[in-house]
Amino acid sequence: MRIVAGTMKGIPLKSLAGTDTRPTSDKVKESIFNRIGPYFDGGVAVELFGGSGSLSLEALSRGVDEAFVFEKNVKACAIIKANAEKCRFTEQLHIQRADARNAVSVLQATQKKAKLLFLDPPYAETAFYELARDFAEAGLLTDNAAIVCEHDKQFVLPESYGQYHKIKSSVYGNIAVSIYEK
């Protein structure tokens, strides 16, 4: 696993050993970013269920200003911190050692809106995808935001979360990625 493009292209990233996290493969990550905009001019990315922080670090490498990663596993947070240090993004990456269900209140306190929202919860925990609706209803997404949900290919996500509608759903082996825009 590595940074696929941008200022930190090619930097290898660590992930937590075992099955506690499920890192997004480089192929899937590249496909996601090619669809939502290969490069960005500022903005904020929010990654729920961060694991290695790979998606946020990729977004930072491609030009977002800052990113918030929510991860409750202390060992995974240490991996995210190490990856941020390796990429020299320690100032731009805000690691929140917290349950993703607290993300709305944390982001409200910052008074920032997300341009990119990444959701990649444990596949069996399908209720967590409703956090996308919570972000939309709380007004925490910019008008040009993209919501990216990684999920089991057997699980069909709703067609919309508030005003954000599914524009694409792609399958990569056993996983699917659904992208929503306003």
Write the pLDDT tens digit of every residue in 36-65.
988 899 999 999 999 999 999 999 999 999
Least confident of 8-12, 23-27, 36-40, 75-79: 23-27
pLDDT recorded at residue 21: 58
Beta bridge partners of 165: 160, 181
Q: What tens digit of pLDDT does each residue of 94-124 get?
A: 999 999 999 999 999 999 999 999 999 987 7
Please say whether the beta carbons of 69 and 56 come within 8 A: yes
Per-residue pLDDT at 124: 78
How does DSSP classify residue 9? T
What the chain holds in terms of domains, given with CATH numbers, is: 26-181 (3.40.50.150)
In this structure, of 16-20, 32-36, 142-146, 175-179, the range with the lowest mean pLDDT score is 16-20
Report residue 19's pLDDT band, with 50, 70 and 90 as the boundaries.
low
Residues 76 and 83 sit within 8 Å (Cβ to Cβ): no
pLDDT at 147 over 80: yes
What is the overall mean pLDDT for the chain?
Answer: 92
pLDDT tens per residue across span 80-100: 999 999 999 999 999 999 999
Residue 47's identity, in one-letter code, is E
